[in-house]
Amino acid sequence: MFAILNQHKVIVALIIIGLWCGPLPVYAESEIISLDSHQDEQSAVSVAEPEKADTVQLEAVVVTATRTETPAFDTSLPVNVILRQQIEREQPISMADLFKRQAGVDASTTGPGIVRPMIRGLFDDRVLVLVDGIRLSEQRGGGNHRLSIDPEQIERIEVVRGPGSVLYGSDALGGVINLITRQAKVEERPGGRAQFSLGGGVNSANDGLEHTANLQAGYNNVNLFFNSVYRNTGDIKTPSGNLPHSFYRGFTLSGGGNLAWPQSELALSAWGTQADIGVPNRTAQESYFQDEVQVMAQGTYRRYEIAEFCPEIKIDAAFQRHQRHMHLLNPAPPTVAQEVFLDINTWNLQPQANVTWGERHRFTTGLQWFREDVTSTRDRWLITPGGWLPRPLPGVIPDADRTGVGLYVQDDISLNSRLSLTPGARFDWIRSACGELDLHPVRATTEDDTAVSGNLGWLYRLNPHLNLVANVGRAFRAPTLLERFFYGPHQETVDIGNPNLKPETSFNLDLGLKARFSRFQGTLSLFRNEIADYIIKRRTGIFDPASGLEIANWENVGRALLYGVEAEGEFDLGSGVALFANLSYVRGKDQTHSTDLPDLPPLKSNYGLRYERKIQPDWELWTEIAGLTAARQGKVAPWEEPTGGYTTFTWSAAATYRQHLHLTLMVANLTDKSYHDHLSEVTWLNEQPGRNVRFNLDFKF
């Protein structure tokens, strides 16, 4: 470990110096934002004191780690918070650009449109993705699928690093990502009000064009919000040439409103996206998701200050529909066109109550219910000199459904002024069932999975500036419908599901240190996560005669072990200048076969210098130079290839005039470096964008 850290000794030294820099004055209690239970969740972020022009942000209040509003410094779990301001400054081409800048977080990609978030070396259905606290049902496992949410929709992102099955159920083995969307502000003041903004941006890496519009309005206690985004990009330009089938053309609409009255709030929201999304493929003439649609409607009711022992009850209900249409045209004789359709409908219901017992106990308890319905059809044509000849094929999955119910309770116990414990327990029942489909080999079957999860968090306040934290817990993941019942082409392979798969279970340990001084904030985390009945898609070396693709089987393979370290910190140098850095390292072993796990990120570090200053009375200026260094990844699975290390630099700047006009300029990959990301599924060229100039303009009135 010391040899690894030595490669980034400058960054590590800065973090260590910050952790031990002496008893600097701590923030006054009034400087840390704490929300009343009826305040807007979106305002649960921190801002610097304007008169001091500090660049180190105050502690954010987060809701994902404990399902209640809690300062991140006072949670036993490591948490990342990505604010709206950061999203606007980074102008991401895709969601992957945001994740890769965070400690312990990354993304596996296949071009900019296909993003699979990763936490501590785990991704796909081992990382639970939420939208406003509701699981995003996309069945991401095993293929190149998009993350439907658009960065322009997001108010902030909360990432919990480490298993979260007690509060969230299946799929949270690696952690939880909560994408909190921009919503109507909760206001109760007389009269009407409105704010409208228009924005646009361009970038040179893929000749990208973006248009945005936002409306925030209200009258008395009724509040409304509307957002629209249109993006049109070509293929990514790399120093090695264009990356084929990496385009994106689509739009996103979102909106909602809320009604507030004493002790209560009702909020309704909906969003939808439709797009053509390229999927890089070196052999296909055409490869993209055509007219892919994802829609979600959600309602939330909150009741506050019900009784002295019950400060809040909250009920969430949601419906989602995902229409996936994969279009492939293979030019090799015989020319074959395939259209694969897969539709998913999902319903969610989540009632939750917060209960107190005396001054020492704060209980969070609730129920989560969901149901997923999946249907599929498939078309295939042979293209001959005489025309198109249809070749009927069954869908890739019979009609199938999955129903789950989870009951949970977690207690936040304040034993004394220094020590807090967070025990929790959960029971889940999940039933997966499928019917029969003509020409499809999977027979009608029903499988039940049950699991008991538990955790114990521990937080010890060494002094007002340092918290020592630890977590131990058991988490689980039930197999998805695709892993159990899928049978057919899935991008690069023909996947065969396994109805007899066992659920994955994990046992995790986490130890960390959190620091919060007036000029420095940082965390240090060590983790170990062991997963039993690990599920993989194993290639067989046998090729399907109908498609020419290699056959792969879903199966349990034994035990997997992941362990590593994360460190991050930001130091205020004064006069609006801040130094920041983070470091992430994870190792993964297949303990059953004594080999390395596939798709693990290399040792990675982000670092840089930021300057921010308000020029009275009208202008606010900001600029940053940042570097990203990834080491060589030589610890690979038997079928993987090692990849080399790389370093890239990004310069960005922004200016705001009277909060009405906002300009942002960014130059990514300043040196126009050609490189390959180890987590990319594109392996036949250095697929990452070359020098990319991005410009964005927003105007509010």
Q: Write out pLDDT tens, residues 399-444.
A: 999 999 999 999 999 999 999 999 999 999 999 999 988 777 888 9
DSSP secondary structure code for residue 680 in this structure: B
In our burial notation (b when 16+ CB lie closer than 10 A, e otherwise), range 508-544 reads bebebbbbbbbbbbbbbbbbebbbbbbbbbeeeeeee
Distance CA 86, CA 96 (A): 14
Under 8 Å CB-to-CB from 390, ≥6 apart: which residues? 379, 380, 381
Distance CA 233, CA 242 (A): 13
SS3 677: coil
Q: What is the dihedral of CA 285, 286, 287, 288, to 10 degrees?
A: 160
Q: What are the tens digits of pLDDT across the range 168-183?
A: 999 999 999 999 999 9
Confidence check: pLDDT of 2 > 80? no
Distance CA 688, CA 240 (A): 9
Distance CA 460, CA 425 (A): 22
Residue recorded with tokens 């004191």 = 49
Confidence check: pLDDT of 205 > 80? yes
Q: What is the mean pLDDT of residues 114-127?
A: 92
pLDDT of residue 42: 39
Longest dimension (CA), the chain: 82
Q: What is the CATH number of the domain that holds 182?
A: 2.40.170.20
For 283, phi then psi, to 5°, come to -110, -25
Q: Are 566 and 77 in contact (CB under 8 A)?
A: no
pLDDT of residue 698: 93
The alpha carbon of 393 is separated from its chain's Cα centroid by a whole number of angstroms, namely: 35
Determine if residue 285 is left, alpha or beta; phi over 0 gives left, psi from -120 to 50 gives alpha, anything else beta. Answer: alpha
How big, in percent rounded to 5, are the helix, strand and coil portions of the chain?
5, 60, 35
- Parallel, antiparallel, or unpaired for β 619-630 and 604-615? antiparallel
Would the CA dihedral through 104, 109, 112, 118 be positive or negative?
A: negative
Q: Are 653 and 664 in contact (CB under 8 A)?
A: yes
Confidence check: pLDDT of 36 > 60? no
Q: What count of other Cβ atoms lies within 10 Å of the Cβ of residue 193?
A: 14
Confidence check: pLDDT of 31 > 80? no
DSSP secondary structure code for residue 643 in this structure: B
Distance CA 363, CA 247 (A): 48
Distance CA 340, CA 324 (A): 8
Distance CA 15, CA 568 (A): 7
Q: Are 518 and 493 in contact (CB under 8 A)?
A: no
* Amino acid found at 20: W
- Parallel, antiparallel, or unpaired for β 175-181 and 127-131? parallel
Confidence check: pLDDT of 316 > 50? yes
Confidence check: pLDDT of 449 > 90? yes
Q: Are 36 and 265 in contact (CB under 8 A)?
A: no
Question: For residues 216 and 142, which has the higher predicted lDDT (pLDDT)?
Answer: 216
Residue 76 tokens read as 């036993």
Domain count, the chain: 1
Residue 635 tokens read as 């610890």
Tell which residue, 635, 631, 628, 629, has the closest CA to residue 650. 628
pLDDT of residue 148: 85
Domain span at residue 557 reads 2-700
Alpha helices in 66-169 (DSSP H): 84-90, 95-99, 165-168
Share of residues in the chain with pLDDT > 70 (%): 90
Q: What is the mean pLDDT of residues 290-306?
A: 94
Residue 246 tokens read as 């990496």
When the pLDDT of each residue in the chain is averaged and rounded to a whole number, the result is 87
Distance CA 533, CA 68 (A): 32
Share of residues in the chain with pLDDT > 90 (%): 65
Q: Are 404 and 428 in contact (CB under 8 A)?
A: yes
pTM for the complete prediction? 0.90
Residue 436 tokens read as 């029969």
Q: What is the mean pLDDT of residues 5-15?
A: 39
Confidence check: pLDDT of 500 > 80? yes
For 52, phi then psi, to 5°, come to -100, -15
